[in-house]
Chain A
């Protein structure tokens, strides 16, 4: 069966520090991969999606970037965090028309 792993679960980082969040998927090949952010009181906002290795599409111009170095690995990064980067980050995968399966999320607090 397919599983998705996302870590860390929580992270507190100072303003200006770098960020790296990792997501891996098991039990499937060539999945579509997604990074979403959920700010307090707001809906899920699509940040990046990838349909294959090295293929990244950005939905919202921002301080973040994404990379897909392997088929089932998706990384969200930042060189210098801003206070506005705080939020709940979710990774998800999809390989059909049957919607997404989400990871457990990372709560990022920038202080």
Chain B
């Protein structure tokens, strides 16, 4: 059974204080690893897809990296508007099913 574990569950940062979120996974036949951002009461919003170990993607203050067992979402100099829950998911199987982790709730304060 595919498993995705995210840590920490919650993270509080001051504006400008960089940090990293972790996503570790145990799957058979990884087709891709996805990062989403979810604001309260809304559907997840796509951020990145990573397909192979060593791959990196960047978007504004966010950078996602992938190894054979885990992925990191690095947040550089965060701002309060980066506050959200960040979800990691793995894509496996022929029906393109995504298995999600429970997310990391990020709060960035002034």
Contact = CB atoms under 8 A, between A and B. Distances in A.
B43 A103 contact: yes
Interface residues of A, number: 26
Contacts of A34: 97-98
B41 A32 contact: no
Majority secondary structure, B binding face: strand
B20 interface: no
B110 interface: no
A49 B92 CA distance: 14
Given A99-B49, A102-B43, A44 B87 contact: yes
Interface in B53-74: none
18 contacts: A32-B95, A41-B102, A43-B100, A43-B101, A43-B102, A44-B89, A44-B98, A46-B97, A46-B98, A49-B97, A90-B44, A97-B32, A97-B96, A99-B34, A99-B46, A100-B34, A102-B36, A102-B45
Interface of B: 31-32, 34, 36, 41-46, 49, 87, 89, 91, 95-103
